[in-house]
Structure 1
Amino acid sequence: MGCFSIKCGLLAGSVFGAVIAILGGILIPVGDMIIERTVKKEAVIEPGTTAYDNWAASEIAIYRQFWFFDVKNPQQVVQEGAFPEVQEKGPYTYKTRYLPKANVTFNPNNTASFVLPLGAIFEPSMSVGPEEDTVTSLNLAVAGAYSLLPPASHILLDMVINSTNSSLFQHRTVKELLWGYHDPILKDTIGLFSPYNGTTDGPYNVFTGKDDISKVSVIDRWRGETKLSFWNDTYCDMINGTDGSSFAPFVDKDVPLYFFSSDICRSVSASYEKTMNLKGIEVYRYSLLPSTLASPVDNPDNKCFCRNYETTKNCTLAGALDISSCSDGRPIFISLPHFLQGSEYLREVVLGLHPDEEHHKTFLDVEPITGFTLNFAKRIQVNMMYGPAKDITVLNKVKDHTLLPLAWMNETATLDDKTADMFKRELLSRIDMLEIVQQVLLIAGVIIFCVCLIAFFCVRRKSKANLG
């Protein structure tokens, strides 16, 4: 009778272990479904969700760091036609994007409209010097007028340059170069980012993800249009992806991420590079491929971005994007800092450039479950073109078209410790706890089942031996 009770108990234990193991197994898909449903719900852009709180007014501080290219031999360039020699000077740091989205409106087609207020606050503690530091840089008015005016007007332009005691280069403060100064030639305020403070970017229309979470944050319209009007080409004028601050949840690292940047007037894609640990949170690092700014010779898709055959050497130069069509005709070219991933020629005609992949590439660190960008560095360089002109005194010794770097910018942000702890506590810790419960139930159930079953057969064999 005792032996029978032991066998029954062991059988019951085996059944109990099997039930626990099955429960643990069932919890895996059920738990995944719970996680997926919760994340998708919180990723929708609507009041009350985690995504909305981060989207409407991000608490992560965004900074713009500027490095200027100080020209060391301006007289030799003008008088002897020498290659310009530059020296990097910076960073000069400003806090930007500190204002929440404005004019937020939710539309019937599951989109949200808004504008981004722009402002910049100088951060002395994060800068090498005050905004009043001076830089020897290209004269924006001279280079701009040279590019905009036909050769027939160059004699008149030369008279204006001489009458205002201007030259190809000028000495300006950091503040003037960035945010504007009164120019004697144009008799107007000009600067690399003028006007900026008090202006807005947009309006934007983005999908909320309420009806289709895969479209969350994807840009539907920018300035009221579904496509750009800068490139006169269907492909180059496409507005693809989000603004880069977030993507659809459950990121697949085998699929590139697309985002639009109004700073460069185009959409780009970033590809998975590696998995990293950011303050205890696993993130996927995405970076731009060399093909993004490759010449049409190497990437035919970029042919529509080539605007000027003369200045780009018949569209064979890589690494520079002519954005004159979206910068009021100014001869502005955008590149990566120090012409990283650009043609060697660009660094041969401007001395003092030293591209470095680690310090000059653009990247995004994306948390794969939520699709939130938790750390990023958008690095772009502003360049202007000038070239030879026999009727302009300050340009008649110039031998060839030169793309001169003026400054490069690193727009960067990363989540702080408080936000990281909240992110881990509210989301990751719950997911980890669910996974632990799943594993404990599955492993414990299998162990109980196996031990009880083995013990049952041992007892039964012993019982048979005693009866024999």
Structure 2
Amino acid sequence: MKKSSIIWISIAFVLVLMGMISLIGLPIILVKIIDSKVILTPDGESYRLWRDLPVPIYLKFYLFNVTNAQQIQSSGAKPELKQIGPFVYRVNVRKDGVNFTDGYQSVTFNELMTYHFDRQLSVDDLSLKITTLNSPLAIAMTLMEDLNPMMKIMATVLIRHIDDDFFVEKSVEELLFDGYPDLLTKLAPLLNPKIPYQPSFGWMYKKNDTYDGLFKVNTGKSDIKKVNAIETFNGQQELDFWSGKECNTFKGAKNGELFNPIPSSDKTLLLFRTNFCRVLTLIWKSAQKSQYGDLSVYRYYPSDNTFANSSDYPPNSCYKPNKTRTEVKDFDNNELDLKTIINRLENLIVTNDSDIFTLLEDTYMDYKLNGSKYFKNFTDIDVHKKYREFPSGIFDLSACYFKAPVYISNAHFLNADPYYLQTVSGLKPDPSVHQSFLDIEPMTGTPIELQLRVQINVFISSVANYFIKYKNMPKIHIPVVWQEFTIHATDELAKDLHWKLTGPLLITTIVSSLLVAIGSLTLLYFFIKPVIKRCRNLRSTDSLMIDENPVVDNCDTSALIDDSQPTYS
């Protein structure tokens, strides 16, 4: 064999080998490259996206208008609800005070949340009036359950003096961010000193342009699986709302802005949002194509046991409120002197409310002179000291909202016990509209779409029935609003991510395949070259010899399938 042929064959082998190595090793190399970009370091690509969140974020509110408020209060009629919404707010998220610690193993930050109303995406103006539950009144009655006799008398006199209805008409802006002045809200610290003073009530009151809390998360430098995992929140390594340690731990949960690259075997994710006061478990549902950028994503849904009670799902028994946190110790005593009450009131009472102070002072003096017998109707109010467990489908948030009877559920009581839909009318649960879900691009752990849908319900305590005006109020959970927190990638961002994931692999696969093909064809040429040469030599043999002695040509196979036999004369 000529030296040049040996060189060409060697080159061909090298080309095939390089191509095969590239085809086999490239996915592994790409995973390493992607992991290095996901790590939260100042020069990392994921860090810039995580810090600035260049994606649309919306918070949508759907309020429930009560159409038969008077009948509910007067005769205990079933609440008839009509959903009105959405009222859409664009959300800006900014991370302040970003500080890397522990050799870039962790990063701390404050997250500033700012909300801007978007009229174009909303169903109506914020001035629209809604008839809704008088939530401060319902909350006050629940707080009364744990008061000592003296404070219970004070609260009863106060509620009777105010004489509010159990339903109020307020504008959307008052019910959400602006709030509306409310005397019971002002005096809430009198019922529970742990409640901070605020003059107005609103479900999002004083939550605009405020920090969501101080987070410390893992950067993933040592272990990519821990990237963005919460290590501490407000300086604490675990929550303290719940009775069981298992329910207070973060367990490596993420805040939903970034996850680690997800192996196909990982069927659960953990999500922590501050307004839920707990970690949510998300379960893998399917692999599918996203509507954004044609990306392949994994879809996760909240676990079916998220809002199950402990009877239906025993592990949820640790979500009972932590008594050491909710207990109001100075209410354990049956007597509170006038000075203590005055000290609590002096910063709560304003000029227009001075008659309230006089009323409570007179009530206190009557109690001291005549004792609790004089107020027998007040002190007979039943006290529910035991934890109440309701049918599955709701979750008690009173532990992190100063014992207020606030319960969350899926929107329209989706997947809840049928009991809840029997207590109200007007709700129509629909998984396509009310189910929460999370779509994640698995190679990078990038959330492509998050739809977090939660309903707020307020429980009406049996204390209401001790007031003549409210004696017929039903003891049920009344939905007041449900919200939809939405994050989704832009088409531009999704397409860019799709190209970064598929582009390098596509190009190198094509190049590697070409190397294999060129090398293989070259080897094939040198292997069949001697056969071709031999065939050419045979065809140049004297044609006369072929005519006199017809035989099968060594390079022509057609004679092997010829059925005719040669004839000899």
| TM-score w.r.t. length of structure 1 | 0.89
How many equivalent residue pairs?
459
Alpha-carbon deviation of 1:382? 0.9
Distance verdict in 2 for CA 1:296–1:133, change over 3 Å: same
Equivalence for 2:396: 322
Deviations 1:53-101 (A, max 9, x none): 01111111211000011111111111111111111110000011x1420
Equivalence for 1:279: 293
Q: How does 1:103-142 map to 2 (within 5 A)?
A: 103-108=97-102, 110-142=105-137
- Three-state SS of the structure 1 residue aligned to 2:185 is coil
Equivalence for 1:164: 162
The answer to whether 1:305 aligns with 2:303 is no
Alpha-carbon deviation of 1:397? 0.9
Alpha-carbon deviation of 1:280? 2.2
Deviations 1:211-259 (A, max 9, x none): 2222110000011111100002111111132111111124435431112
Deviations 1:90-125 (A, max 9, x none): 0000011x1420111111251100111122110000
Alpha-carbon deviation of 1:15? 5.8
Equivalence for 2:23: 28
Equivalence for 1:186: 185
Query: Hey, what's the Cα distance between the residues in 2 that align with 1:288 and 1:120?
Result: 26
State the AA in 1 paired with 2:203.
L
Greater displacement, 253-262 / 45-54: 253-262
Which of 52, 56, 75 aligns to 1:57? It is 52
8 Å Cα contact 2:115-2:209 kept in structure 1: no
Greater displacement, 102-111 / 154-163: 154-163
Equivalence for 2:254: 242
State the AA in 2 paired with 1:370.
T
Query: Hey, what's the Cα distance between the residues in 2 that align with 1:410 and 1:204?
Result: 23
Alpha-carbon deviation of 1:142? 0.8
Which of 340, 344, 367 aligns to 2:414? It is 340
Query: Hey, what's the Cα distance between the residues in 1 that align with 2:521 and 2:264?
Result: 35
Deviations 1:309-339 (A, max 9, x none): x899963511211011111221111111011
- Three-state SS of the structure 2 residue aligned to 1:243 is coil
- Three-state SS of the structure 1 residue aligned to 2:228 is coil
Equivalence for 1:42: 37
Query: Hey, what's the Cα distance between the residues in 2 that align with 1:285 and 1:199?
Result: 31
Alpha-carbon deviation of 1:167? 1.1
Greater displacement, 238-247 / 224-233: 238-247
Which of 120, 140, 143 aligns to 1:148? It is 143
Equivalence for 1:262: 274
Deviations 1:276-333 (A, max 9, x none): 233222221111121222222332211122459x899963511211011111221111
Query: Hey, what's the Cα distance between the residues in 2 that align with 1:329 and 1:99?
Result: 29
The answer to whether 1:412 aligns with 2:486 is yes
Question: Matched residues, percent identical?
Answer: 27
Greater displacement, 103-112 / 31-40: 31-40
Equivalence for 2:235: 224
Greater displacement, 160-169 / 117-126: 160-169
State the AA in 2 paired with 1:123.
D
Equivalence for 2:217: 206
Query: Hey, what's the Cα distance between the residues in 1 that align with 2:529 and 2:470?
Result: 98
8 Å Cα contact 2:394-2:409 kept in structure 1: yes
| TM-score w.r.t. length of structure 2 | 0.74
8 Å Cα contact 1:13-1:452 kept in structure 2: no
The answer to whether 1:252 aligns with 2:264 is yes
Greater displacement, 155-164 / 404-413: 155-164
Alpha-carbon deviation of 1:426? 4.0
Deviations 1:9-29 (A, max 9, x none): 5x8776655433322221134
Greater displacement, 336-345 / 423-432: 423-432
5+ residue gaps, structure 2:
187-198, 323-383, 542-553, 555-569
8 Å Cα contact 2:60-2:485 kept in structure 1: yes
Deviations 1:376-417 (A, max 9, x none): 111111111103333223431134x31111111111021112
Query: Hey, what's the Cα distance between the residues in 1 that align with 2:298 and 2:29?
Result: 23
The answer to whether 1:452 aligns with 2:465 is no
Bigger fraction of residues in helix: 2
**Larger Rg over CA atoms:** 2
State the AA in 1 paired with 2:505.
I
State the AA in 1 paired with 2:480.
L
8 Å Cα contact 1:336-1:381 kept in structure 2: yes
Query: Hey, what's the Cα distance between the residues in 2 that align with 1:164 and 1:460?
Result: 111
8 Å Cα contact 1:161-1:167 kept in structure 2: no
Which of 386, 389, 396 aligns to 2:471? It is 396
8 Å Cα contact 2:27-2:505 kept in structure 1: no
8 Å Cα contact 1:239-1:267 kept in structure 2: yes
Equivalence for 1:102: 96
Equivalence for 1:68: 63
Greater displacement, 243-252 / 227-236: 243-252
8 Å Cα contact 1:18-1:445 kept in structure 2: yes
8 Å Cα contact 1:135-1:171 kept in structure 2: yes
Deviations 1:115-150 (A, max 9, x none): 111221100001001111111111011110011112
- Three-state SS of the structure 1 residue aligned to 2:493 is helix
Query: Hey, what's the Cα distance between the residues in 1 that align with 2:304 and 2:431?
Result: 11
8 Å Cα contact 2:94-2:113 kept in structure 1: no
8 Å Cα contact 1:336-1:361 kept in structure 2: yes
Query: Hey, what's the Cα distance between the residues in 2 that align with 1:148 and 1:290?
Result: 31
Distance verdict in 2 for CA 1:36–1:387, change over 3 Å: same
State the AA in 1 paired with 2:471.
N
Distance verdict in 2 for CA 1:447–1:138, change over 3 Å: farther
Q: How does 1:430-445 map to 2 (within 5 A)?
A: 430-442=504-516, 445=519
Equivalence for 1:384: 458
Q: How does 1:70-89 map to 2 (within 5 A)?
A: 70-89=65-84
8 Å Cα contact 1:283-1:367 kept in structure 2: yes
